[in-house]
Structure 1
């Protein structure tokens, strides 16, 4: 088969998905990096980019089950030099199990993908394996349903920690992690309120939902291209999960105050703070490439901040003037946003948690010295693990005599909140709702 024939068949999307999966699972690269690179390599159209993303995300969500299927259907593991074919098989099986693509089209395009990844000699193997699954589907799925080790498609260490910490709700957390997340909007208060912008969405034929206590947030009934949102390019609205939208109001920045947003990229929380108060904001992050996204977001929204590329564990970037308030969105395991980044399940290791906890404590201690007496620090993570959250803050307060809990208000009733994380908010990922997130607010005592 010619390259052009393979390209016309939908094969590039399958080849790109397989290539990205190989980068994630063999080379421990982020899907956010691997997928755009694969899309460029295989010259994907906009439609094919969406398809490749759907396949790659789906495979990573269901990886243990799909790996088990390959083991049942392939006589012996593929040699390293043809390992890309293994990822094509994962992509093909995911399509047959979970996508609405017609079976014959999914198989044909996946087989054709072998040409694009230079494994034309194994087209017959791919075809045979996928058709074997079709014949044995009922038998295979019955075995999957009774295999406890495949239940939930999460690594054992994550499942165990969730079971220990959330004995009543761990299964709901895992179920939420396995869903495609809804799309949430944050309305720019400088242009509209949620009610007036919702009316614009309705006029455009876009269905949305509002929630008590989420003053600027709307959940779309169906995700869509941001270009179709009224006034997106004019800065009327941004995409931001509901959980993250509580950072700005809980921080409570006031006009003319000096604010630090530490670990600020990609800049959604910085923008939300500035939309609500004309304060003097410094956005700090260690990664130059991620700070470009901060700049882009602020530019689209016509907002201004001082952007600093530096390490939050150091103070060589600081001018010595104390901040009124600090938002620390700390580096974390990201176990609360697995549904948005399913590669987290396979990139993160249990041993990472202690290292992350140490890093969080180091940053927290360093930034605390930059806070005015009487000032407030809002600590946030997108984790659901107590070592990074409630235990972290308890330890910090015990170790610092000038730090005290500044207890948060009761959360809105519709949030999925862990009641054991008293004084702070431990939000748990919720199907058709918000991500997992943690907030704690500290006040610096005046001596």
Structure 2
């Protein structure tokens, strides 16, 4: 049994990795746990959940202690004893930076509280990989493992996990790649793209390949995809993943390149699921809270503008632009920028997914944009724009 002192040391090390090395909670836990955690799976999972909650409560701890110079071990001790102080400041109560809470409240009013509270809770989705197994078979496998789930009403291949006695990654269908942990928001993005058999699709930020594999699944391996990524390392990992998922690699062209400058002779559709702040994925990685800032959001916004401007130059009629972000700088304002700087093109925005929320009312055309929210749709926070382009 791991001792309290070891738990304190572990929590402090996880938070240190998140703060100083800017890694995800998963990477931080693996590094902190290496050679120190119990080999017992249940014990390890308890420590992981403790670590997640500790990192998520970082801003709450700063509010309670009123100090930023306390050691991480001291913070861990205080947290393990329990936070009994009543917090009247909603940013402190929900454990977000004051800046971030106020920014979301400017956009959503009182609804911001519900959204940010929901983002503190972990939600799990599985995508049934019909390239390898029919839906019925995978559902039976989940039944046999005692998993409680709901089949999604919009996409029958998406399953919301209600309860599982073991970590999702250790479920048999996941280990055999018959099911893939993937948020419903990703399915919505691809639904907006409407891929068809025979389509040539340019995926401008393809790695790790989850949306590429979903396109191939929905077209029964009959689309052709030009998958571009700036990281050759990620492309190599992507190739291995696609193979394991049953994707026909002869129909996927992996290209190492910079999509802000990339050119292509022909494509029917473009998918630009852009690099972003991941502010919509806090439920998956609470460490994201700690590093969100104006500077980080503006950094990604500039990349997104460059990527989308180049996509518009490629003379492709349909583009889907998406980000896992709840910030307008990575959504509405990016679309506004490219429209103002592409006067030679006729750009039409279509709200392809009717049940999605519309964009923030910070631009005139917000009603033609799409947003997904955790507290409304049970997904990660996402921005989606379906763009039709003509010369």
- After TM superposition, is the score higher than 0.5? yes
Q: Is the 8 A contact 1:14 1:52 kept in 2?
A: no
Structure 1 residues 143-292: aligned runs within 5 Å: 143-147=85-89, 150-179=92-121, 181-192=122-133, 194=135, 197-223=138-164, 224-226=166-168, 228-277=170-219, 278-292=222-236
Match of 1:388 among 330, 338, 350: 330
1:311 match: 258
How many residues align? The count is 379
Distance 1:363 1:347 in 2: 23
Q: Is the 8 A contact 2:349 2:387 kept in 1?
A: yes
Change (3 A) 1:12 1:367: farther
Change (3 A) 1:286 1:52: farther
1:115 match: none
1:23 and 2:26 aligned: no
Change (3 A) 1:339 1:403: farther
Structure 1-normalised TM-score? 0.76
Alpha-carbon distance, 1:324 to partner: 1.3
Alpha-carbon distance, 1:288 to partner: 3.7
SS in 2 for 1:144: coil
2:30 match: 36
Q: Is the 8 A contact 1:18 1:56 kept in 2?
A: no
Match of 1:89 among 74, 77, 80: 74
1:444 match: 389
Distance 2:168 2:112 in 1: 33
The Cα offsets for residues 272-299 of structure 1, whole Å up to 9 and x where unpaired, read as 0011121111222223443344233212
Q: Is the 8 A contact 1:248 1:269 kept in 2?
A: yes
Structure 1 residues 55-134: aligned runs within 5 Å: 55-70=50-65, 86-97=71-82
Q: Is the 8 A contact 1:233 1:300 kept in 2?
A: no
Structure 2-normalised TM-score? 0.86
Alpha-carbon distance, 1:195 to partner: 5.5
SS in 2 for 1:202: helix
SS in 2 for 1:297: helix
Q: Is the 8 A contact 2:348 2:389 kept in 1?
A: no
Change (3 A) 1:51 1:229: closer
Q: Is the 8 A contact 1:416 1:430 kept in 2?
A: no
Distance 1:302 1:381 in 2: 26
Q: Is the 8 A contact 1:408 1:440 kept in 2?
A: yes
1:346 and 2:290 aligned: yes
| Uncovered stretches (5+) of structure 1, i.e. residues with no partner | 1-6, 79-85, 98-139
1:135 match: none
> Quick check: which has more Rg, 1 or 2?
1
Alpha-carbon distance, 1:53 to partner: 2.6
Alpha-carbon distance, 1:194 to partner: 4.5
2:380 match: 435
Change (3 A) 1:284 1:204: same
Alpha-carbon distance, 1:11 to partner: 5.3
The Cα offsets for residues 219-266 of structure 1, whole Å up to 9 and x where unpaired, read as 011254346545334432211011111122221222232212122222
1:424 match: 369
RMSD: 2.8
Distance 1:423 1:194 in 2: 33
| Uncovered stretches (5+) of structure 2, i.e. residues with no partner | none
Alpha-carbon distance, 1:162 to partner: 0.5
Alpha-carbon distance, 1:444 to partner: 2.0
Change (3 A) 1:419 1:194: farther
